Structure 1
Amino acid sequence: MAQLPDTADASNATDASPERSPRGIQSIEVGGQLLTALAHHGRPLALKDLAREAEMAPAKAHPYLVSFIKLGLVEQEALSGRYGLGPLALQLGLISLQQYDPVRLATPRIEELAQNLGLTVAIAVWGNRGPTIVRVAEAPSPVHISMRHGTVMSLRGTASGRLFAAHLPEATIQAALDLEPDRLSAPELQPLQETQAQIRAAGLASAEDGVVAGVSALAAPVFDDQGRMVLSLTAIGPSRGFSLAASGLPARSLKRAAEEVSSQLGWRPRPPP
């Protein structure tokens, strides 16, 4: 005669049912709030400040920190007594970054942006001749802007090019400018440099009727954990009805998507001076 499972076994079987969300360990989730607070601030914190950020009492936070120190997830400064991320946390972070490919992370974003904005959205990376298109998501509208993989974008006439010119080292940009058909003289470079400063301040580059009449574009930068620009998210479409304003939907959507991908790559915005 078959035996019925005891109460504990029945309970475990119920918890494992796909109809229910997996049950975690609450104490680990609570302690994880301390690690999240440290990662968010990016600097060591005093016990009272760290506990406040994790929304718990210092007396409750301290035992978690002791265990985290033993594991290497947290370390305590000898002189100040402040708590920061430990060597194991840093190793895990580096391993995580190595697993992230910027283009792979950004590709689903451009598909979503193209659908929501009704514009063609592309990913451009820096190639041996300048900004190069590597992914394209076509607009769902009947009007399509033809973009091909491998297209090298002009540094002066396109939003992607202007964006890279604003964020990459001057020597790198100058070498690419020398390859373009119409080389700039020293006096002609001054307006370009002024535009680059404006682009860095705005976090966006635009091109209205740039290379092709009637076609405009907006581009937002994606940064890695070192603050280096690794690719651009560029929306392209007919100039008519395409808002290039910083407060417009295309600009806000591009910036938000670029910041989210940058955050996945370990980038953290610099605090205001």
Structure 2
Amino acid sequence: MTLMARPRAGTAVTPASAPAARADKAQRGIQSVEVGARLLAALAAARVPMPLAALADAAQLAPAQAHAYLVSLARLGLIKRDHLSGRYEPGPLSLRLGLLHLEQDAAWRAALPRADALAQALGCSVAICLAGPQGPTIVRYVPATAPLHVNLHVGTVMALAATATGRVFCAFQPPAQWQPLWQAQQPEATAADLAAFGARLAEIRARGIERSIDAPSPAVSSLSVPVLDGAGALRLVLTLVGSTGAIDVDWHGAAARALLSAGAEIGAALREPDGEQA
């Protein structure tokens, strides 16, 4: 004979509520882990090493409480403390997790060899940018053979309006994805400015490529194209960067054709059977 547990008094058990109750129980987490994650999130948002007081304040914790969590996070390798400055920064385990996240991105994997080939063939720097919380962020940078007087590196966030990369990022994403960032970067912009920017984005979508000449850095120019998956979603932005005069920024020039071809190849790789898992 099978015995059934009686429901507690005042509790109605129905076929609909039982699965919900089980799901709620399965989703219970460890509060202390979630509190520690607030410190990691605050550090990631700041994008610079932070002293204890500032980090605790950003995570809305008392400094003494934050310090106890930071000790454990440091033991795990998620955070490390600089012994000279006393500031906290991401640890080696955070780096490994970030790299693992990138390695799971099929678009990034498909773009790596093509970015290297572009840099070698054209003698230009090549940047692979993915969408980040603060905008398009360089996750791979292949420097040109000749010195380039511009401060670009992995982790650089590209301005939305001022760079070809940023404009391509906006042109191929829904407005909700980029308008808050655009407005934060340009607090004085008017509705007319936004409308003009939107018209420029429409031209970029029609053309499939964007360029910047001597901007935002003097004597440095660039070309950018989107990489779209089979659903038409933007996966990354591929950008050529070179000294003005050395890089061919003609819409139909050799550099533009090579960049468009590389972007199309990456997109085609994503649309192949098992392309997202390759």
What's 1:44 paired with? Answer: none
What's 1:246 paired with? Answer: 251
Give the 3-state SS of the residue equivalent to 2:245 in structure 1. coil
How far residue 183 of structure 1 moved from its aligned partner, in angstroms, is 4.2
Runs of 4+ aligned structure 1 residues displaced above 6 Å come to none
Give me the whole-angstrom Cα distance separating, in 2, the residues matched to 1:254 and 1:129.
Answer: 25
Give me the whole-angstrom Cα distance separating, in 1, the residues matched to 2:181 and 2:148.
Answer: 32
Q: Give unpaired runs (5+ residues) of structure 1.
A: 1-98, 268-273
Provide closer, same or farther for how the CA distance between residues 150 and 244 of structure 1 changes in structure 2, counting only shifts above 3 A: same
Which amino acid in the other structure matches residue 205 of structure 2?
R
What's 1:161 paired with? Answer: 166
Mapped contact 1:145–1:236 kept (Cα < 8 A): no
Q: How does 1:77-92 map to 2 (within 5 A)?
A: none
Give the 3-state SS of the residue equivalent to 1:209 in structure 2. coil
- The answer to whether the aligner puts 1:195 opposite 2:200 as a matched pair is yes
Mapped contact 1:138–1:144 kept (Cα < 8 A): no
How far residue 179 of structure 1 moved from its aligned partner, in angstroms, is 2.5
Give me the whole-angstrom Cα distance separating, in 2, the residues matched to 1:255 and 1:199.
Answer: 13
Which amino acid in the other structure matches residue 170 of structure 2?
A
Give the 3-state SS of the residue equivalent to 2:177 in structure 1. helix
Percent of aligned pairs with the same amino acid: 37
Give me the whole-angstrom Cα distance separating, in 2, the residues matched to 1:192 and 1:108.
Answer: 33
Give me the whole-angstrom Cα distance separating, in 2, the residues matched to 1:114 and 1:198.
Answer: 27
Which amino acid in the other structure matches residue 233 of structure 1?
L
Q: How does 1:1-273 map to 2 (within 5 A)?
A: 101-143=106-148, 145-266=150-271
Mapped contact 1:144–1:237 kept (Cα < 8 A): no
Question: How many residues of Structure 1 are paired with residues of Structure 2 in the alignment?
Answer: 170
Mapped contact 1:218–1:235 kept (Cα < 8 A): yes
How far residue 146 of structure 1 moved from its aligned partner, in angstroms, is 3.6
Give the TM-score normalised by structure 2: 0.58
Give me the whole-angstrom Cα distance separating, in 2, the residues matched to 1:241 and 1:114.
Answer: 13
Q: Give unpaired runs (5+ residues) of structure 2.
A: 1-103, 273-278
- 1:98-126 per-residue CA deviation (whole Å, 9 max, x = no partner) reads x7611111011111101111110000011
Give the 3-state SS of the residue equivalent to 2:271 in structure 1. coil
Give the TM-score normalised by structure 1: 0.59
Provide closer, same or farther for how the CA distance between residues 139 and 100 of structure 1 changes in structure 2, counting only shifts above 3 A: same
Give the 3-state SS of the residue equivalent to 1:165 in structure 2. helix
Cα RMSD over matched residues? 1.8
- 1:138-192 per-residue CA deviation (whole Å, 9 max, x = no partner) reads 1122446441111110111111101011111011111111331544210111221
Mapped contact 1:120–1:144 kept (Cα < 8 A): no
